[in-house]
């Protein structure tokens, strides 16, 4: 009998230990998320993001990163929350819109990905900058978000490397060309805003992308042309055609590629992409 009890106890503790293999894993994640090394904290946040928004503790640990003393860690936290589609974090991400430029931009992208109007408003503010000829009508929430940004062009000081990667793909644009494309400080942000607005199903986003084809910076024009290849419809082809005579080669070829993409779509795909213009 005592032998049976002993065997049963061993089996119980063995199963118990095997049944909780994540205890040590969580300890590792918590310790790394609070490491003195900011690179380690960023790595922990990125790893936590892969667990998904269904795990409350993972979301909370990433949310805590929004209050980190290092702005790059805060930027990472905002980006990860957007990737997780952590809707419970929306209030904290909205607060992060008041943070420094790149953190606010990351928060705006995350919010926009989750359909939040304030995030969309910030992206629109970055794309339009100081131009007074913004097309169409803004919703009240978007207008309030845009007015909230005192200097939207300051949010445009994104790294040229990230902007060029969004424009032409990783490692496809040399750093010298990237620096040339984004000489004025707000251009990288405008290019990135165009890239992210391509994901927005709102009809106004398409109007803005077509409008951005007239941006003074060739990198932004190329980004808008590329975005229209993804988001545009049959009516966008006529907007792209003038860029075939653009003064910069990159703009011409990107416009040409987008025209081909839009032309080759089936009638069903084009109809599904069409929208009623404001």
pLDDT confidence of residue 160: 43
Q: Is the pTM of this model over 0.85?
A: no
Per-domain boundaries in the chain = 26-113, 115-278
The pLDDT confidence band at residue 12, using thresholds 50, 70 and 90, is very low
In angstroms, the CA 192 to CA 123 distance is 9
Q: What is the pLDDT of the chain when averaged over all its residues? A: 74
Same fold, 26-113 and 115-278: yes
pLDDT digits (tens, 9 = 90+) for 17-63: 444 567 778 888 899 999 999 998 999 898 889 889 999 999 999 99
Round the CA-based radius of gyration of the chain to a whole number and report it: 23
Q: Which residue has the higher pLDDT, 255 or 176?
A: 255
pLDDT beyond 60 at 99: yes
pLDDT confidence of residue 90: 95
In angstroms, the CA 77 to CA 63 distance is 7
115-278 folds as 1.25.10
Nearest Cα neighbor of 128 from 198, 61, 182, 205 is: 205
Q: Which residue has the higher pLDDT, 219 or 9?
A: 219
**Contact of 251 with 221, CB cutoff 8 Å:** yes
**Contact of 111 with 105, CB cutoff 8 Å:** no
172, burial (CB in 10 Å: exposed 0-12, middle 13-18, buried 19+): exposed
Q: Which residue has the higher pLDDT, 28 or 176?
A: 28
Can you list the alpha helix ranges (DSSP code H) found in the chain?
Answer: 2-19, 22-33, 38-49, 56-64, 71-84, 90-96, 101-113, 117-128, 140-148, 160-168, 175-181, 187-197, 203-211, 218-231, 236-240, 249-264, 267-273
Q: How many CB atoms lie within 10 A of CB 267?
A: 8
pLDDT digits (tens, 9 = 90+) for 223-247: 899 899 888 988 999 999 999 999 8
Question: 26-113: which CATH architecture?
Answer: Alpha Horseshoe (1.25)
pLDDT confidence of residue 122: 77
pLDDT digits (tens, 9 = 90+) for 114-159: 988 888 777 777 777 655 555 554 455 555 545 544 444 444 444 4
Q: Which residue has the higher pLDDT, 155 or 263?
A: 263
């Amino acid at each position: 009998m005592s032998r049976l009890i002993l065997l049963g106890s061993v089996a119980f503790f063995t199963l118990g230990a095997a049944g909780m293999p994540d205890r040590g894993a969580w300890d590792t994640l918590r310790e790394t998320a609070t490491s003195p090394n900011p690179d380690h904290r960023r790595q922990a946040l990125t790893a936590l993001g892969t667990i998904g928004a269904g795990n409350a503790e993972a979301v909370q640990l990433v949310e805590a990163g929004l209050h980190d003393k290092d702005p790059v860690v805060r930027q990472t936290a905002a980006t990860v929350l957007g990737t997780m589609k952590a809707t419970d974090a929306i209030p904290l991400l909205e607060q992060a819109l008041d943070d420094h430029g790149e953190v606010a931009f990351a928060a705006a992208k995350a919010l926009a990905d989750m359909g939040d109007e304030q995030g969309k408003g910030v992206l629109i503010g970055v794309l339009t900058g100081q131009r007074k000829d913004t097309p169409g009508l803004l919703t009240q929430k978007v207008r309030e978000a845009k007015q909230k940004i005192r200097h939207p062009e300051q949010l445009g000081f994104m790294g040229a490397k990230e902007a060029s990667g969004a424009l032409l793909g990783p490692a496809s644009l040399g750093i010298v060309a990237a620096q040339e494309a984004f000489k004025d400080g707000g251009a990288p942000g405008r290019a990135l805003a165009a890239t992210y607005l391509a994901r927005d199903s709102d009809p106004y986003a398409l109007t803005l992308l077509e409008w951005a084809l007239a941006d003074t910076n060739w990198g932004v024009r190329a980004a808008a042309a590329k975005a229209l290849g993804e988001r545009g419809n049959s009516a966008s082809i006529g907007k792209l055609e003038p860029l075939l005579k653009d003064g910069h080669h990159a703009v011409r070829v990107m416009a040409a590629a987008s025209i081909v993409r839009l032309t080759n779509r089936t009638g069903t795909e084009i109809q599904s992409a069409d929208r009623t213009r404001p």
